[in-house]
Every structure is written in C-alpha cells, then in structure tokens.
Chain A
Amino acid sequence: MWSNVLYIDLETGEHKIRDRSDLFDKYIGGTGVATQLLLEECPPHTDPLSPEAPIIFSIGPLTPIFPCVSKAVAMFKSPQTGELGESYAGGRLAMAMRFAGYDSIVIKGRAPKPSYLSIHDEEVKCKDATSIWNVSSIEVIGKILRDVEPGKGRRSIMRIGEAGVKGVSYANVNVDTYRHFGRLGLGAVFGSKNLKAIVISGTEEVEIPDMDAYKNMYKKLYEAVVDTEVMNKYHDLGTAANINVLNQLKGLPTKNLKQSSFENAESLSGEYFADNLLLRKIACSNCPIGCIHIAMLKTPFHKGHEFEVNHISYDYELIYSLGTNLGITLAEDVLRLIDRCERYGLDVMSTGGVLAWATEAYERDLITPPDTLGIALRWGDTDNYLKIIDRIVKMPNKFYETLAKGTAAASAEYGGEDFAINLGRLEIAGYHTGPASIVGQLVGVRHSHLDNGGYSIDQKAASQQLTEEQMVDKLIYEDYGRNINNSLIACLFARGVYSEDNIVDALASVGINKTKDELATIGREIFLAKYRFKKQEGFDLGDVKVPARFFETVSQMGNIKKETIANMIQLYREKTGV
C-alpha cells in the first residue's frame, strides 16, 4: 500500500492503477506527491478548463491511521489565478480514499456526456449524470446519489452545483455536505470536464508493521489532541471566536476593508452564533475535535407558521466575508447568504470579496444600474446581495460574467483596482493583522492564509517586536514545514500536536523512517516544486500588486507601510530563491 495511483480518463471512461512508490518514497504523500503528479500531468500553459488539465486528489501515509489526519488535497490549475490550484477538504473523503485503496487519483479528459464517477474498492465506473446535471442544489444532488450508490453510511460524495456547471471561476466542490474544496475554482474544473460528482467508498484494511508501537503512538497523539486546549478552542465556539478577538485588535476586514473593526461585530460574534443559532457540532472522519459548527436557520415562508428549516455550517472566514465585509448586521442574514452560496457551490470567501468590491464600485459609480440590471448594491442589504449572487451564477450580461471571474478580473475591466481586495488574484482571508499576513498571502504557494499563517506571525510580532527579517524567516519556516503536515495530511488545526518530533515518531511507528532534517529538506523541495509550476504558468513574485487599500486602513499593527511589504518580499525572494 501507500502508493496506489488511480488514473481515470473521462474521455474513454477507462482507468488504470499504477504503483508510484517512486513518488511516495521521496515525497511522502498528500501535497508532496500531488505536486509531482501535477508537474507530470499538466503541460505548461494548459487551459485550466480544457480536457488536458488534470484534477489530482491525494491522501497521505498516515490517513486515517492517526487522529486528525483527516484531510485530502486537490491539485489542479486554478481558473481564477491561472496558476497553482491547491485546496484541502475534510469530511469523509480522506478515509474513503484510504479504504478504497487509493492514495492518489488523477482525472483527465472531458466526458462526452454529463457524468459522475462511482468508485467502490476496485470497481471504478464513469456513469451518466444527465438527469442531475442541472439540479442546482448541492444538498439535493447528495440525496439523489445516496439512493442509487452503494457504500451507505460511510462513503464520501463530492459534487458541484450550478456555479461549477456554469464555470464561475471560484466555484467550489462540495464534500459531504458541510466541507469543501473551497478555494481557487476546482468546481469550474469539474464542470469543464462534464464531471458532476464523485462517490467513493471502500472496505480495505491497513496493515501496520509493528502494532504495539503503533498503538502507543496513537494513544499519545490522541491524548494530546483531546487533552490540550487545541480541542477546546476549535470545538467550543470554533473559529468564529475570532470575530470578537480580531474586532478588538482592529484586524477584522469590514466593508471591503474600509475599516478593520465593525460597530456591529458583537451581533455576528461566535458567542452570538453559539448561543442563538448553533444546532450541533460534527467532525471529519477520524477527528475527535469536532470543529464543524452547524447552525439552524428557520425562515418563515407563509402565514400560519410555515417554516423552511436549513442547517448551515459556519466558520470565522464565512462570517467575515459575507458578514462584516458586507456590513451585514444580523447573524441570520449572514446564514442566508452562506446558504445561497452553498446551494450553488460558490466559494464563500471569494463571493464575499467580489460583492464587497462591487458595492464600493457602485458607491463610486464605476458600475451603474444598467450594469447590475437595476439592482442596487448597498452595505448591509441582504436581499439585494442574494439577487446579485443569483446573477453571478446565471450570468445574464457582461457585468455578471465579469463578476464570475473574481475581483482582480472585475476591477481590471471596471476600475477600482486600489480597493479590489485580492492578493495574487485571490480574495483575501479575514485578517488585516499586519505585514506578515499580506506578505504571507502574496508569497504563499496558493495565496492562502494557511500557507504560512502570516496572521499569527503578526500577532507574535505585535507582542515580541519582531524585525521584518524575523517575520520573513518565520514565514519561510511555515511555508516549508506545512508542506510536511500537508503531505500526511494532518488537519492544520492540530498542528500543535503534529510537531516535528511527533511527525518523525508517527511515521516511524508505521515503518517510514525519516529524520527531522530529511523532512525539513523534503518540505523545502515540495515548496520549490510548487514554485516551479507557478513560474511555468507565469507567476512572478517580482511583479505582484498590493492594492492601496491595504495601506490606508489601520491594521492590528498600525498603518502598514509600502516599503515594509516591498522589503519583506525582497528578503523572502533572496532567502528562498523564488
């Protein structure tokens, strides 16, 4: 085991399995292997929505052998940024891939008809999806497939909604209703391949060479996960706890980052959600934390106490992007907006960024009622935002077609680049904490706040007086190191538990012997391989833009200077060689 790659050609419906221990031995698994597969399978300058563009999924050698090793990675060429697409999802997918016996899956081609993949142990079939191709609701597609597919109870179902079918460049892939390959547009890539869904399940077992060593290590890691405050923080209020925290620190992007704190933050806080809307918490397979917070939204739709009840998962980033960043004042309205994005399969963070930019562009008359088809964009106007979301997916005119490509594309067309809040063409995560957050998202391989956790380096810098160089060193350390966590693939929420020492021991307990130094080298190699792909597709760190707004709005660390950012990027390039 550890090295089965399933190759599927949607054009012919054929598949083959190859042992790729050459890659797994060297790059561990997860993102390490997926990066190499991407370099192999995606020729330079491939159109991300063409049949030649690959979709690659991967899990790691510890999936699901140790607690919180619960993620699968998807790698592809992003239709939104035109370069590296990399996204992580939890749910049951990683476990389902392991027990089906596949460490990686490579999908290429375009199916001649709307299709879905049905993968159950060694049975791999490409099936007709014509009758569900235009079913817009993510939830309904799941219900339909559950009835016709085997593997009941513990299978994983990935699917796209209308946004993916229509090719919105930030369409996501929904995984098991409440998790997603959210960012960078994997949903549009699915749509371009006529691929509506993937169902996967399996009954394999994993053999462990030394059971006693393994059991001891399991117990140690399990206790570390459940006994530390890691669990409390993510289980209790969840990431939504950050709303009040960042609001007080002036790090909470609000109204398109015109502000970094929000006068109504309290009513969107994690505390408010938990006290008033939280229904229950659930977990990804193999994770005892249970960080997935599900809210219940009850909406009257008729006289006589007729209610529509929706269960909606929420997190900090969602509340920021469709809440504070749009000036929404009611938590219930944030849920309505999240629910609409979920139904269509839209990445919530990018959708919120696009709506925020459009609202400000509308205020400044860069876009006008003829563009929006008469819908006014106003801070806090949930009903109109819902209408705009509908139209981003339906694309009735050129304006909405442009919005469906993201803020960078929209501002290039309509102006307002100074307040088009994106870094590397991706709408930002909810942190205006200081320079490390900005630089971190710019230099990060997938422009994610999780590439290197720049926001938390800012927080350290605030208390410890770090120099620019020290911040850059920390970014680089995380950029390299997280490639190892992401090759296992352990959830980054448990990164406190998966320390370098624990990773070495965990790998050793299942017969994979790597020293700390070797792992550090591999982490760096994976990082550099990703940059090879990025450069091949035209990304140049010497030519990145930071919209003026980032410097105008006060951050947690005061006003950020242009020179600081330029200097840190320069240092980063010198030290990493990218």
Chain B
Amino acid sequence: MPSRIKVANPNRCIGCYSCMLACSRTNADSVSLIDSAIDIRTSGGIESGLQIIVCRSCIDPPCARACPTGALTPRNGGGVVLKNELCDSCKVCADACLPRAIHFDREDMPVICIHCGTCARFCSHDVLEMIKTEVL
C-alpha cells in the first residue's frame, strides 16, 4: 500500500523548520528553505500562528490536469510525480493548487513533494505523519 504525508496535528507546530531543512537536505542535497516541498510560514508574525503548507495528495490532481506539457502525472496513492525533462517552468501548476503547495527553486523548477516521509521523521512535535492510503 502506498503512503502519503499528512498534516495530522497542525496546532502542535512550534515553527522550528526542522521539517523544511530535512526535506531540502534529503531531496535536494542542500541547506535551504526554498528547496523544501513542505513550507512552514507565519502570516502576521509569529504571534498569529503557523501555516503548514504541503501537498494534500489529490487523487485527481488539478496541478497535473493543468500542466500543459505532461510533466506532472498522478502518483499512485495521491499527489503527483514530476518529470523534470518535460517541465518548462511555466508555473501553471502552482495556480491550480489551492493549498499553494507548489513553489519554485532558484532554477525555477517546481519543488514537488514525493511523499517520502522524511519531514515527519524530523518533526519532534507530532505535527506530521505518514499514513497508508487506500488507493492502489
């Protein structure tokens, strides 16, 4: 059964960014915030709480439907898979995703969650979880 990342307890987030650093370290071999597929941010300062933005594993992903080049295709279990070589950085996918889970790195390539679960392993406050998905 495939797994996917889930934001299980958003209100437990302390804003440490360990998850973001884990994602970029593991999947982009860099220390960075913009290479991370998960995005922790404040809106209105730290006093107003934290937003956790990550792919919600759509079964019929609108980002993939919007992609004009076929670079994004549905992933087994939800979410999408990116074929780098097909992407022309048009950013249409980003607009199709309401949670705004797709953003772009310094080379203007989309940063796409691969549902690997690394971020959850480095979250010490049980905000993130990997769960098994029903769909095959």
At the interface, yes or no: A461 with Cβ under 8 Å from chain B?
no
- Residues of B within 8 Å of A288, CB to CB, are 14, 16, 18, 122, 124-125
Q: Which residues of chain A (214-256) have a CB below 8 Å from chain B?
A: 214-215, 218, 222, 226, 231
Residues of A within 8 A of B71 (CB): none
Report B21-59 CB contacts with A as 1/0, cut-off 8 Å: 100111001111111000101111111000100000000
Tell me the minimal C-beta distance from A309 to chain B in angstroms.
11
**Complex Cα gap A311–B45 (Å):** 12
**A281-B14, A288-B16, A290-B16 are contacts. A206–B30 as well, Cβ < 8 Å?**
yes
A48 CA / B97 CA spacing, docked (Å): 53
Chain A interface: which size bin? Answer: 35 or more
| B24 proximity list for chain A (CB < 8 A) | 205
Q: Which residues of A contact B29 (CB under 8 A)?
A: 208, 211
- Of chain A, the residue at the smallest CB distance from B35 is A205
A64 to B21, Cβ gap below 8 A? yes
A205 to B46, Cβ gap below 8 A? Answer: no
B45 touches A205 (CB 8 A): no
Is A154's beta carbon under 8 Å from chain B?
A: yes
The answer, yes or no, to whether B15 is at the interface (CB within 8 Å) is yes
Segment among A107-115, A139-147, A382-390, A435-443 that sits at the interface with chain B: A139-147
Contact B124 A231 (CB under 8 A): yes
A271 to B18, CA, bound (A): 28
A99 at the interface (CB under 8 A from B): yes
Residues of chain A contacted by B47 (CB below 8 angstroms)? 139, 177-178, 311
Chain B contact residues: helix, strand, loop or mixed: loop
- Chain B minimum-CB-distance residue to A291: B14
Is B15 a contact of A142 with CB atoms below 8 Å? no
Cα-based distance from A29 to B125 in the complex (angstroms): 31
Contact of B106 among A154, A177, A205 (CB under 8 A): A205
Distance between A227 CB and nearest chain B CB, rounded to angstroms: 9
Partner of B33, one of A154, A177, A215, A226: A154
B16's partner among A65, A152, A287 (CB-CB below 8 A) is A287
- Residues in B neighbouring A152, C-beta threshold 8 A: 41, 43
Q: How far is the CA of A95 from the CA of B30 in the complex (A)?
A: 14
Residues of A within 8 A of B41 (CB): 152-154
Complex Cα distance A311/B47, Å?
Answer: 7
| Cβ-based interface call for A332 (8 A) | no
Question: Which residue numbers of B lie inside 8 Å of A, CB to CB?
Answer: 14-18, 21, 24-26, 29-35, 39, 41-47, 51, 106, 122, 124-125
Nearest 9 A/B pairs, CB to CB: A153-B41, A290-B14, A206-B31, A205-B32, A283-B16, A283-B14, A226-B124, A288-B124, A205-B30
For this complex, 13 residue pairs linking A to B, each with C-beta atoms less than 8 Å apart, are A64-B21, A99-B32, A99-B33, A152-B43, A154-B42, A205-B32, A218-B25, A226-B124, A283-B15, A288-B16, A288-B122, A290-B14, A290-B16
Other than the given A178-B47, A203-B33, 10 more pairs (CB < 8 A) read A67-B18, A154-B17, A178-B46, A205-B32, A205-B106, A206-B31, A284-B16, A285-B15, A285-B16, A289-B16
